[in-house]
């Protein structure tokens, strides 16, 4: 077993930073000859075990061991709360990369994949997504095992190396006014991060799971549905930008229980959450601060 020491001052691990402890995690060595590569994303590669119903996600080289610890810890906390998600088994390494092993869901497709393959099911899938999102947000979080999304975001924007001072001056007062409720949050809620095997709908990629205002999830959900780049939406969701917008137009009124004509008020309400979370997610994905120009586009509308 390979040991990784976790210091709570380094990252926002739900167990380390929230409880103020140092964690020693064991990564079990796996032999990749026992697995078959079955998927690839922006952060890592997925491998399926040749004989067991298990799936391994290994982060790309360069990702710190802490990232896998956080994702596994969040997955375990959500699983124990009864949130529908594949069972987390163990932390693993191939001695070059780190990751975790989860239950393999046979015959699964993401909601995004279903829409791409069967576009006539757009309304059915989008309405189902609204229902399961509301169910997720009805679960009371265990605040001893999940971090506060608000505090996580505040810690991020209080760093001096992630956004320029003018952006911090806009964001931090808004964060002060945002409520912090014990509601379970996915952390990256969108139709690519929920799968179904025809019997169960399961949330995946819940490494950013936390508790807080549901608007954190809903704001990001709105943001990804506004991506105008066809190549990006195809790569991320196997969908066209107009399909993502159509999905939002069905999902959002059903989730919020409002008429489509009243969605303008909803969007104005969630936009600060979307913008603030976008800055955080950008740094998480690209490991670099945003430019001043990007920050102006993102945060000036919040003034």
| pLDDT higher than 70, residue 200 | yes
| pLDDT higher than 80, residue 203 | yes
Specify the domain boundaries for CATH 3.90.1200.10 within the chain: 109-302
pLDDT tens digits for range 130-172: 999 999 999 999 999 999 999 999 999 999 889 999 999 999 9
In angstroms, what is the C-alpha Rg of the chain? 19
Report helix angle 263-286 to 241-256, nearest 10: 120
3-state SS, residue 89: strand
Q: What string of H, E and C letters represents the secondary structure of 172-187? A: HHHHHHCCCCCEEECC
Q: List the one residue out of 265, 281, 177 whose CA is nearest residue 220.
A: 281
Q: List the one residue out of 57, 53, 161, 146 whose CA is nearest residue 107.
A: 53
Specify the domain boundaries for CATH 3.30.200.20 within the chain: 2-103
pLDDT tens digits for range 74-88: 999 999 999 999 999
- Cβ neighbourhood burial of 227 (10 Å; 0-12, 13-18, 19+): middle
pLDDT tens digits for range 170-181: 999 999 999 999
Average pLDDT over residues 275-287: 91
* Residue-level pLDDT at 41: 74
| pLDDT higher than 60, residue 18 | no
Taking the whole predicted model, whether its pTM rises above 0.75 is answered as: yes
* Residue-level pLDDT at 2: 43
pLDDT band at residue 281, thresholds of 50, 70 and 90?
A: very high
CATH, range 2-103: 3.30.200.20
Alpha-carbon span 84 to 68, nearest angstrom: 20
Under CATH, to which class is 109-302 assigned? alpha beta
């Amino acid at each position: 077993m390979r040991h990784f020491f976790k210091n709570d001052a380094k990252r926002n691990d739900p167990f380390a930073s929230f409880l103020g402890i140092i964690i020693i995690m064991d990564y079990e060595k796996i032999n990749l000859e026992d697995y078959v590569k079955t998927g690839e994303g922006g952060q890592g590669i997925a491998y399926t075990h040749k004989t067991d119903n298990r799936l391994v996600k290994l982060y790309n080289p360069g990702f710190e061991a802490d990232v896998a610890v956080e994702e596994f810890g969040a997955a375990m906390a959500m699983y124990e709360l009864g949130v529908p998600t594949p069972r987390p088994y163990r932390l693993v390494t191939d001695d070059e990369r780190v990751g975790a092993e989860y239950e393999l869901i046979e015959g699964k497709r993401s909601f995004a994949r279903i829409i791409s393959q069967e576009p006539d099911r757009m309304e059915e899938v989008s309405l189902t997504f609204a229902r399961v999102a509301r169910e997720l947000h009805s679960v009371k979080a265990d605040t001893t095992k999940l971090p506060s999304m608000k505090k996580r975001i505040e810690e991020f924007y209080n760093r001096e190396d992630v956004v320029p001072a003018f952006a911090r001056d806009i964001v931090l007062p808004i964060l002060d006014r945002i409520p912090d409720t014990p509601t379970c949050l996915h952390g990256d809620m969108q139709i690519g991060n929920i799968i179904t095997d025809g019997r169960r709908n399961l949330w995946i990629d819940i490494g950013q799971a936390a508790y807080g205002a549901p608007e954190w999830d809903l704001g990001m959900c709105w943001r990804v549905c506004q991506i105008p780049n066809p190549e990006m939406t195809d790569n991320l969701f196997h969908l066209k930008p107009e399909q993502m917008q159509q999905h939002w137009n069905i999902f959002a009124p059903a989730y919020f229980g409002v008429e489509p004509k009243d969605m303008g008020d909803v969007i104005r309400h969630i936009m600060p959450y979307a913008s603030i979370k976008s800055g955080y997610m950008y740094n998480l994905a690209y490991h670099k601060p945003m430019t001043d120009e990007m920050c102006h586009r993102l945060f000036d509308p919040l003034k």
